Structure 1
Amino acid sequence: MSRNIPNEEDLAGESARLQQLLYALGRRRSLRDPIAGICEALQCTPPQIHALLWLGQDGMLTMGELARRLGVTEKTVTGVVDRLEREGHVQRERITLDRRVVRCRLTEPGQKTYQRLDRLLHEAMGQMLGMLDGGDRKALFRILEKLVRRLEPSSPDGVPPARVRSA
């Protein structure tokens, strides 16, 4: 079975098409990133919500790991964690001999916030998936699972593969 490998010109056109479709989806409030509405409900910024999600999903992370997951600098993640810590959602810990290594973990109230966030996100995703018929949902999952599998080996920046939860 040979793989149909697209040429650069095809990829450029398809990339532009995907970008335009994602922009079109982003313009429709009902299809916006489900996290946007959750930010308002929880009175948190998107980076704070994403930090809670990563810490809830993967457990304790170093500040550097968290910064990479959020796509921000370590200086920026410090501000995100500062606010989450002030509000009682996270706690910083130094658990190695190297005092420079700071890890973050969810506190008990942070775990409860994460569970609420996870529930809200699950409901929002269900609403979006409900707009598709069964065949389209199956195709969407097949495509996303293929992308996850192809990205599984450690990437050049050393980020371990994503863990995928089965429904």
Structure 2
Amino acid sequence: MRNISGLDDTAYQLMELLTALGRRNSLRDPLALLVESLGLTPPQLHSVAWLGRDGPLSMGELARRVGVTEKTITGIVDRLEREGYAQRARDSSDRRVVHVSLTPRGKETADRVHTQALESLRAFLSLLDGKERTALLRVFEKLVRRLAAPVQPLDP
């Protein structure tokens, strides 16, 4: 049986620690600097980042990854197309599905996004020693594995 009270306490402690970090150092998105220099909104920049990382995605999948509705992603992709970052294409086997991919300009921007994200993470991780970085990675690896596993019901 899981200790919900202990889990609540841990969640509260984590929230407090993240708040304390935010008071000392901005926890803004590591890509925020690029938003201003490129003149893109955060959702547009995140769309470019996902497309650069994983290649063409359906409109629905892109919306899910960016954390917006399908209606909202339509407007985001409209602007990305208009500015020359992205293009749409219908799926050849199901014409109802529309895929979004990057143009050469979009690919260049995605490379800049990737480089900026790595630089920000390097700076953040440099605050830890090697053993601490290894422990942090293990925790995140465990979270990724468990999130990918089938959902297990809580014990009564």
Q: Same fold (TM over 0.5)?
A: yes
C-alpha distance in 2 between matches for 1:33 and 1:82: 24
Q: Is the 8 A contact 1:26 1:33 kept in 2?
A: no
Residue 31 of structure 2 aligns to a residue whose secondary structure is helix
Change (3 A) 1:79 1:154: farther
Counterpart of 2:124, as a letter, is: M
Matched, 1:100 2:96: yes
Q: Provide the identity percentage.
A: 54
Aligned to 2:119: 123
Looking at structure 1, the residues matched to 20 and 84 of structure 2 have their Cα atoms a distance apart, in angstroms, of 38
What secondary structure is seen at the aligned counterpart in 2 of 1:93? strand
The size of the alignment, in residue pairs, is: 151
Q: In the alignment, which of 139, 142, 145 is matched to residue 143 of structure 1?
A: 139
Instruction: For 1:14-25, list aligned pairs within 5 A.
Output: 14-25=10-21
Partner of 2:66: 70
Pair 45,26 (structure 1): closer, same or farther in 2 beyond 3 Å: farther
Aligned match of 2:33? 37
TM-score by length of structure 2 reads: 0.88
Equivalences for residues 156-167 of structure 1 within 5 A? none
Report the counterpart of residue 133 of structure 1 in structure 2: 129
1:47–1:28 distance in 2 versus 1, CA, 3 Å? farther
- Corresponding position of 2:82: 86
What is the RMSD computed on CA atoms of the aligned residues? 1.8
What is the DSSP-based 3-state SS (H/G/I as helix, E as strand, rest coil) of the residue aligned with 2:101?
strand
Give the number of the structure with larger relative contact order, counting CA–CA contacts within 8 Å between residues 6 or more apart.
2
**Is the alpha carbon distance of 1:9 and 1:154 closer, same or farther for their aligned partners in structure 2, counting shifts above 3 Å?**
closer
Q: Closer, same or farther in 2 for the Cα pair 1:11/1:53, shift >3 Å? A: same
Q: CA deviation at 1:81?
A: 0.8
Separation in 1, partners of 2:16, 2:72: 30
Q: CA deviation at 1:136?
A: 1.3
Unaligned runs of 5+ in 1: 156-167
Residue 48 of structure 1: how far off its partner (Å):
1.1
1:154, distance to aligned residue in structure 2 (A): 6.7
- The equivalent of 1:55 in structure 2 is 51
How far 1:11 moved relative to its partner? 0.5
**Structure 2 unaligned blocks of 5 or more:** 152-156
Q: Deviations over 1:4-33 (max 9, x none)?
A: x75000001111111222233334445433
